[in-house]
Amino acid sequence: MFESVLVANRGEIASRIIHTARAMGLKAIAVYSQADADLPFVSEADEAILIGPADAARSYLNAPAIIEAARRTNAQAVHPGYGFLAENADFARQVAARDLVWVGAPPLAIARLGDKINGRNLVKEAGVPVVPGVWEPVPDADTAAEEAERIGYPVMVKPAAGGNGTGMSAAHDEAALRRAYETARARGERIFGRADILLERFVPHARHVDVQILGLPDGTVVALGDRDCSVQRRHQKLVEESPSPGVGPELRERLLAAAVRAGEAVGYRGAGTVEFLVDPAAQECHFLEMSARLQVEHPVTEMVTGVDLVEMQFLIAAGEPVPDAFAAPRGHAIEFRVYAEDPERFLPARGRIKVWEEPVGDGIRIDAGYAEGNKVTAHYDPLLAKLCVHGDDRAHALSRARAAVDAFRIEGLPTNLPFHAELLRRPEFANGSYDTGLVSRMRADAPVR
């Protein structure tokens, strides 16, 4: 086992990784930008090194600066967290080329999965069901219109590179398709450096369900249960829970088996997530994409399985033994992403946090990236913390969630805590019958102010 790890990230995920590293007796090294100097993760690390200004391109996305920081601090491993360089195959190769341990998916697997079209084609060959769509990039809007007629409207238009819902939209006719195509193409080229476009059938009233996998050093791939990620705004996740209330035993068995096949198809190692679109009416599941990293919502899997996924990442990266078998998931867990944003329009908010009071009690976990007195800037994603709860069953978890959301006080700038309180009062969320259209319906039903 290596003795030190540099955490190439910031905020709550940096704190999360540092916590497990120190619990395992590893030296935890943080890197930070000038804007983040006062955030908790910097002081929580055993050592911290400034790598650049607030601009992410000159700090957290600056691969040479991060590798130089590893050299200067004598780090033996690099953990990328999620986002930034976590799914950058070139960065992973650079880390390995300098005899550092890369705590992440193999570079080849990252490269294979970084293109959504390539990824879906690979897993389809392994027998994993995929959403009907195209098998190669769509070169122009005219071809997109032809393919959409073949697939059948409505269709989902996506940049083939990247993730987090960026640039995605549904089109119900040709005019909307052409607009969506040009928007997705422009955003893909600007944000991900690639203009390739993927078309897939849009499934109304679908659920977004993920499966957590671990690729072990001996080549075995195991599944550690599912997570429902259907509460989304602008195709970006807000709330996740495990297990999914919309998946029965037979469908769950098929989901887990399909996820394992997908991991095996790309030679996966480490922690990863296979994402599926689930049609509850037809009881069908289709592969969407695979995230070759630790997910934001990994705490709900940890809470129901008792498995520390960051510890597993460290052990797998070092080639150390891991458990021969994992316990079956127990109870129910829900995660609420707490953002600095307008809770009605979901627009990012900035400012200084004047009050920060976390809820406490049995079954409550807070993964926080900020504290009282910290300033939230415009430079990064406005995720402040993740409020997670665990209960004996879903009703118990919901009860704890309502109390915890009400008790979480953040003042000085708007947050989406009022949205989470509203969500918990919504009957279709409370009874588990929701789908990916829930947030849109909530805002459509809201009174005009």
| Selection from 137, 143, 133, 136 nearest residue 178 by Cα | 143
Asked if 411 and 397 touch (Cβ cutoff 8 Å), the reply is: no
φ, ψ of residue 385 in degrees (nearest 5): -165, 170
Give the span between the Cα atoms of 69 and 48, in whole angstroms: 9
* Close Cβ partners of 141 (under 8 Å, ≥ 6 residues apart): 177, 178, 181, 182
Residue 180 CA, chain-centre distance (Å), reads: 24
Asked if 57 and 379 touch (Cβ cutoff 8 Å), the reply is: no
| Selection from 211, 297, 207, 282 nearest residue 252 by Cα | 211
| SS3 label, residue 43 | helix
Asked if 239 and 337 touch (Cβ cutoff 8 Å), the reply is: yes
Indicate which residue of 207, 293, 394, 400 is catalytic.
Answer: 293
Give the span between the Cα atoms of 307 and 311, in whole angstroms: 8
| SS3 label, residue 382 | coil
Taking residue 26's Cβ as centre, other Cβ atoms within 10 Å add up to 20
| Selection from 129, 127, 80, 76 nearest residue 107 by Cα | 80
Q: Please, how many CA atoms are within 13 Å of residue 275, restricted to the half-sphere of its CB? A: 23
Sheet of 221-233: strand order equals: 284-291, 270-279, 207-215, 221-233, 236-242, 332-339, 383-391, 364-368
Pairing, β 207-215 against β 270-279: antiparallel
- Where does residue 176 rank: exposed (0-12), middle (13-18), buried (19+ CB within 10 A)? middle
Q: Is 443 a catalytic residue?
A: no
3-state SS track over 116-141: HHHHHHHHHHCCCCECCECCCCCCCH
Identify the DSSP state of 353: -
Active-site residue set: 293
